[in-house]
Structure 1
């Protein structure tokens, strides 16, 4: 993660937090459900927010609460996900990937969370949702598309750039070319089964634009519906800050993947 502080948290509307639900036996295999804010314009589907932090245990979903609340304020049903991370029992590959599938299986089964689902992930969360986009079960679980915000979508480039003090190798537990690496790399799961929208800031020095460039080219060459929006003047954390102008681009990307209410 960047050394820059997280956006100042804003209050989650008291009526928005409906419940915290489990999708596994571990204490961190949970997700919060936020109902659409009272009076907000109705929006279709459910937005699933997957936080970042280079997959590491010290970064949890708390810093993504303002982002989740902003989606609820825009009229969406929202899920704010937690998952096992590097440095925790079961975290890393394959446990974290297993959590993503189990999470989405649980969300898809909830009668109060309408389909389709749009997955929104930031940084390492952007990796996880883009990885999910390439899995054969994505459409079966009602995923309409994913929005990857400054996502670590090409593990090879991230490794060569030593992002997050070699966070990628810590997460996978091995280097490029191993079965674990291949299983976790979105570059190995093309074409994506659902549309992918990459959003990145041109001033991001935590996950530079170069990380997405190879994925974008390879995904298009494979015939996938993948686009990129570059937000001028934005760095890494602006993309999840509802008070930053960059967040309007994020809201637009989500809306583009959902049917009109």
Structure 2
């Protein structure tokens, strides 16, 4: 009887692991499907743009140039859910301060065709960044902002460029397999997961001034991961971390994050 129970438990576990491996991307990515026009959500100065990624997929983002000559342009890479429209509350104060803003859309999100993957999102993010540089915005006036999953795109792209104005990471994780369900052993998670977004490795190549934000009560991405990433950012010309008490994963901007971002950007414009 005991042997039969053990066999059943092992079989059930293997089925659970197999299902996780098979449906892992549907567990990671939760894209919103609709995308209103910018003016409908309080961003009338932003316009839609379409860029072609290296593999041919077309993705849509929103852009507004700086309105003041000394301001930078923030390229914003959002997290694993929703769409660029859900980040209007973060774009609004940046635009009001005269900064340029590019909200980067991903394949499979917000009405864009395709299916999200790490390789695909990185290609989409790179295509949007190159589009902006092609519009005449120098790298030295560009700040890359990554939110949660978007931090894995930003550390990758920032490591490819040496003269960015700055990098902002909001709730960064170490590596996606480190966030796998608890029933997956760490070694098994690393073996099974196709998408990694390895901030632990990529942060070492980031040389731009860095601001890292994390909530002390984050129950999705432990604050210990943000502190580890800050410690590993040894190549950054300057770095600072803001670890907010009584703050979770989704309220960083409302509980001090917004002020820290605006202060960081103001410092960059004075350098």
Is the radius of gyration larger for structure 1 or structure 2?
Answer: 2
In 1, Cα distance between the equivalents of 2:212 and 2:270? 21
Match of 1:128 in 2: 153
In 2, Cα distance between the equivalents of 1:175 and 1:84? 25
* Counterpart mapping for 1:142-157 below 5 A: 143-157=164-178
String of CA shifts for 1:206-254, please: whole Å, max 9, x gaps: 222022232222333xx4444311123322222344xx54311122233
Structure 1: unaligned runs, 5 residues or longer = 2-9, 167-173
Q: Normalization by structure 1: what TM-score?
A: 0.71
Which one is further off, 95-104 or 188-197? 188-197
Match of 2:248 in 1: 235
SS at structure 2 position matched to 1:176 = helix
Match of 2:201 in 1: 188
How many residues align structurally? Answer: 224
Match of 2:132 in 1: 107
CA RMSD of aligned residues (A): 3.4
Structure 2: unaligned runs, 5 residues or longer = 1-27, 29-39
8 A Cα contact 2:65 2:73, kept in partner:
no
String of CA shifts for 1:81-112, please: whole Å, max 9, x gaps: 11125997352121111111111111111137
In 2, Cα distance between the equivalents of 1:124 and 1:66? 18
Bigger relative CO (Cα 8 Å, ≥ 6 apart): 1
In 2, Cα distance between the equivalents of 1:224 and 1:104? 20
8 A Cα contact 2:74 2:102, kept in partner:
yes
Q: Are residues 1:259 and 2:269 paired?
A: yes
Match of 2:83 in 1: 60
8 A Cα contact 1:84 1:90, kept in partner:
yes
Higher helix share: 2
Label 1:197 to 1:35 Cα distance change in 2 as closer, same or farther (>3 A).
same
8 A Cα contact 2:117 2:195, kept in partner:
no
* Counterpart mapping for 1:36-75 below 5 A: 36=66, 43-53=70-80, 59-75=82-98
8 A Cα contact 2:77 2:125, kept in partner:
no
In 1, Cα distance between the equivalents of 2:201 and 2:192? 12
